[in-house]
Structure 1
């Protein structure tokens, strides 16, 4: 079968394996000739997967939930650790916005349809607000930061490495962090044709992704140089490296905790009509077991 990897700037593991050919070698050694499709935004994944252009996918938690709700047959094959300090809602210093309750009616920049939608929604839900309580605006990270500093928006749902760089530049303060609001992870999943190819194929994919993730964490400077070149977005190699060094790396097998987290997210999105239908995330569990293996870098 053909393995078709979809990669976008918000998933650094898939970005690395797409743009650094040596990381693909284990797939080729296993007899595969993988394809790698680079696309600019994670939310484009939906159409790419539905059309069969990609079948190995890595996203934030939200895109996987939406994909299942939209009828794609998916199966989780791995997940990152929880990233408790990877994202925060930022406002200018001196802003009257002090808590999530103060966000009502305010202009907020974020990447719509990503985990940032879930983060913002969960923060609002905790204080009795909903997604339509705010003026949410779909902006790329650099656009959000510029708009926030210019006064064109009131708050920004930021993520690293942009968060670290923006916060270090001064003038901004945090209203809320992911910690205590959501369990922020990257999740990796495949379509049914990959599952049907059997445990050996899926294990090979998992091993390649785990090794790539380990490669990034082992040398932030090396990975930062790669991302500055292939993603850019105004960040230098050093800025990328600092963000990478702050993050705990490692891809783990999907477990009951992950499935429950995904179900909690799906239920909240459905409650606020941000999901087309209610889903049972257990339907996206692999029908066979994978095994964790020591990743080499």
Structure 2
């Protein structure tokens, strides 16, 4: 059932509440939560918003799958693949255009490592199943290496950062804002980012049920996310100031991180999911996914205006 489209024809009565799950690093949703514009936009529909914070993407999508939240803020491209493998019935609502430089392989400032080939035999911190994991696999393949040629240390971002700055890792595959923060504070050097290796798109998803009942709500969410993404890019200083206090990072570092993200929100298309299949196939071949996944089986909600 490739590229199933869910449209207003399937919509029922507008729900009275939308439960939104997000992570602390969910930039556009965080801005909307802070400025209150989403509540104002949904008020004419009589829809309330409740906010639910999660520590990472996989628990967030698990909550969507079991129906404890209705809508998920952006998650990295790899996360929906794992949700599909687990049998989740999720619907793609929107995506953010590629931001390949927003994740990268970092080495310490004084490291002699200058090429991807020189990662052979090195200890590399990476978060298993994250977009950074896919970037590492793609980078190693480009260098003619495999994961068995390095020593991966599967760590959370916080643990990986601590190990990296203390000299216990030869390299770390990080994403923003962790990437920009570590660069600023330790002088770490980018060995390679995702350019030409991993697009690093981010996706917004909803439950199958809510995509049918909440079409009008999703349309408002889609429009507000687009407008917020445009505002962040057009107002880098004020956007960074808004996020700095919430993230506990100085505004200059936040602005550097935001500059590497596209924040260009658009409709999800079957063609746009092409790299999702590549990610799924790569992870399955590495034994990271328990079974093969057909990325085109995922359902796509279609906005009234793209």
Does structure 1 retain, via aligned residues, the 8 Å contact 2:25–2:247?
no
Match of 1:280 in 2: 294
> CA separation in 2, counterparts of 1:131 and 1:55?
40
Please give the residue correspondences for 1:100-111 in structure 2 after superposition, counting only pairs within 5 Å: 100-111=116-127
1:271 equivalenced with 2:285 (yes/no): yes
Match of 2:140 in 1: 124
Classify the secondary structure of the residue corresponding to 1:3.
strand
Please give the residue correspondences for 1:169-248 in structure 2 after superposition, counting only pairs within 5 Å: 171-197=187-213, 199-232=215-248, 235-248=249-262
Match of 1:5 in 2: 20
Match of 2:303 in 1: 290
1:137 equivalenced with 2:154 (yes/no): yes
1:22 equivalenced with 2:37 (yes/no): yes
Classify 1:202/1:222 alpha carbon distance in 2 versus 1 (closer, same or farther; 3 Å).
same
Match of 2:11 in 1: none
Quote how far apart the aligned CAs of 1:278 are. 1.2
1:259 equivalenced with 2:273 (yes/no): yes
Quote how far apart the aligned CAs of 1:180 are. 0.8
Classify 1:38/1:195 alpha carbon distance in 2 versus 1 (closer, same or farther; 3 Å).
same
Quote how far apart the aligned CAs of 1:248 are. 2.8
Quote how far apart the aligned CAs of 1:277 are. 1.6
1:85 to 94, 101, 105: 101
Does structure 1 retain, via aligned residues, the 8 Å contact 2:65–2:89?
no
Classify 1:219/1:131 alpha carbon distance in 2 versus 1 (closer, same or farther; 3 Å).
farther
Give TM-score, length-normalised by structure 1: 0.86
2:47 to 32, 36, 61: 32
Classify the secondary structure of the residue corresponding to 2:100.
coil
> Unmatched 5+ residue regions in structure 1?
none
Higher relative contact order (CA 8 A, sep 6+): 2
Does structure 2 retain, via aligned residues, the 8 Å contact 1:10–1:41?
no
Classify 1:90/1:16 alpha carbon distance in 2 versus 1 (closer, same or farther; 3 Å).
same
Does structure 1 retain, via aligned residues, the 8 Å contact 2:65–2:207?
no
1:98 to 110, 114, 121: 114
Does structure 2 retain, via aligned residues, the 8 Å contact 1:79–1:251?
yes
